[in-house]
Amino acid sequence: MKHSKLKYFAEFDANAISYDYSAHIECLKNPQKPQYGGGIIINPELNQGLKGWSTFGHGKVEHRESGGNKFIVFHNRNRPHDSVSQKLYLQKDKLYTFSAWIQVSEGNVPVRAVFKTISGYKHAGAIVAESKCWSMLKGGLTVDASGPAELYFESNNTSVEIWIDSISLQPFTEEQWRSHQDDNIENMRKRKLIIQAVDEGGNPLVNAKISIEQKRPGFPFGTAINKNILNNNAYQNWFISRFTVTTFEDEMKWYSTEYTQGKENYSVPDAMLQFAKQHNIAVRGHNVVWDDPHYQPSWVPSLSPTQLGQAVQKRLVSVMSRYKGKVIGWDVVNENMHFSFFESKLGNNTSAKIYKVAHKVDGRATLFLNEYNTIEHSGGSSASPAKYLRKLREIRSYPGNSGLPLGIGLEAHFSTPNLPYMRASIDTLAATGFPIWITELDVDKQSSQEQQAQYLEQILREAESHPKVQGIVMWAAWKPGGCYRMCLTDNNFKNLPTGDVVDKLLHEWGFKSKASGTTDSSGFFETSLFHGDYEVKITHPVLVNSTFIHNFKVMPPNEPKEKTLLLQVSA
């Protein structure tokens, strides 16, 4: 068997996607044009006065113009929902992507977009609107029943005027939505490959047999594990036969490694890391500290501020220096948009300071802000995309933090998924340019295992197909007494319906895929492969050793239009 020379070339191809993934996170002097020309919204740019728009609740609506830009202003508001509205007809089998540009008369004020439907109120998203500039609210919704609906905007701050412009509501059929996903997976997760087999003289090998096998997928996909895996061969075999990345459920957390103050014990996470390394499984560091007061080591709450500051510093250096270079990223201050234990004890800038120290300890690691209800909940939660962006800016604006390698960690603990909102929220966060991971994906128990599996498949497809998502970790670590919210197997490691969904999608997404064929008259063989590590075998009668084996990688192109990879194999 002989080694070969490998040459890589590139061709260019165009790619068009009908869904608009763009989002603006800057506050602009003038709003942009409405996406999709406004979709089904009447008079979306307000160029026809108040046509199509009316009052919702109490207050006054007026049409204004500034610098050639026309917009709606609603003032004299007494209740949060007092605003302008438009009546629409929404269909149950459609997915609606929504956007609008919002401004308020003073301050920084959360504003929500709401649809009153025949089966209840549906939130489409929220923004922290500012005065003197326009902010883009991007969201989406589905409805439980077809019928009339009314769009309006609300804010708990009734003293401000709400200004609205460039509104868009674009429906997509389920088939169109699925086509967005399939097209993205084909275009973003795969690459066309042309192999040319030539002999030592550069002459093409005609009718050579080509056999290609994936050795490792390129897209990180996995699930959490816990210490139960260390001594359970069935658990190990089930896990390592499917996944390439993991997160430890509890074993790396502070309350696990320093149960008693001053007595650190890393034996369990050490063993789990050794297991992961042995099987080439990447590990996310979870977590350095957790801002939830209920999940501190039992001895921490009673510490004085000085003692707590010292303990946090010791924890940071201890865990991060120990696992430096052994994890692919860190959840640094876990869930510090929902909770503020350390801030309440040590001051408002505590999180930013912790991220700064974390970068000093492990300068090459991505430092994640890990949160829930950012893509799951459309009602303007404390971790909404707009507030998430503000927290990122707050961390980076702290002296010395401007260049921090931050990452966006989206826990994705779903009940009933709102896919248009999920997609739009990721669009908004993607505008930062920071890497985005789905970090703890699960689906709460439903009326049946089949419905839970159905929702899981919908969410996984949406996550895998979003062009800016760089990895997915499910939160389904197995325990004999049951998983956190979602199991993939029973206690004999036989797949549950959720596990069957995972295997189905792994197969669809090219896990351990194979391709074969013969070269043409010019020695070429063409196929399309998911990103990953591959082995190719080339067999031809004229070759001295009959078969050549080459290992190669299929990587995302350096340029968006660079689609085709040409691999020339020279004997």
Catalytic residues: 440
Tell me the percentage of the chain whose pLDDT exceeds 70: 96
Tell me the percentage of the chain whose pLDDT exceeds 90: 90
b/e 307-339 (16+ beta carbons within 10 angstroms → b): ebbebbeebbebbbeebeebbbbbbbbbbbbeb
Per residue in 497-516, pLDDT (tens digit) is 999 999 999 999 999 999 99
Per residue in 17-31, pLDDT (tens digit) is 589 999 999 999 999
pLDDT of residue 566: 82
pLDDT of residue 240: 98
**pLDDT-based confidence at residue 1 (cuts at 50, 70, 90):** very low
pLDDT of residue 461: 98
Per residue in 303-357, pLDDT (tens digit) is 999 999 999 999 999 999 999 999 999 999 999 999 999 999 999 999 999 999 9
Q: Yes or no: say if 408 and 432 are a contact pair by the CB < 8 Å rule.
A: yes
Query: Which two three-digit tokens encode residue 394?
Result: 């707050």
Asked if the model's pLDDT at residue 541 lies above 60, the reply is yes
Coil, strand or helix: which one is 328?
coil
pLDDT of residue 13: 35
Question: By CB neighbour count within 10 A (0-12 exposed, 13-18 middle, 19+ buried), where does 157 fall?
Answer: middle
Per residue in 287-307, pLDDT (tens digit) is 999 999 999 999 999 999 999
CA 439 vs CA 20, 334, 382: distances in Å: 25, 12, 18
pLDDT of residue 564: 82
What does the pLDDT average to over 176-181?
Answer: 96
Contacts of 559 (CB under 8 A, 6+ apart): 10, 12
Per residue in 366-383, pLDDT (tens digit) is 999 999 999 999 988 899
Coil, strand or helix: which one is 536?
strand
Per residue in 240-269, pLDDT (tens digit) is 999 999 999 999 999 999 999 999 999 999
Asked if the model's pLDDT at residue 567 lies above 90, the reply is no
Coil, strand or helix: which one is 426?
helix
**pLDDT-based confidence at residue 560 (cuts at 50, 70, 90):** low
pLDDT of residue 547: 84
> pTM of this prediction?
0.94
CA 486 vs CA 114, 336, 474: distances in Å: 30, 24, 9
**Cα distance between residue 170 and residue 173, in whole Å:** 10
Per residue in 2-13, pLDDT (tens digit) is 334 444 333 333
The overall average pLDDT reported for the chain is: 94
Per residue in 49-98, pLDDT (tens digit) is 999 999 999 999 999 999 999 999 999 999 999 999 999 999 999 999 99
pLDDT of residue 561: 63
pLDDT of residue 546: 77
Per residue in 384-411, pLDDT (tens digit) is 999 999 999 999 999 999 999 999 999 9
Bridge-partner residues for 530, per DSSP?
A: 190
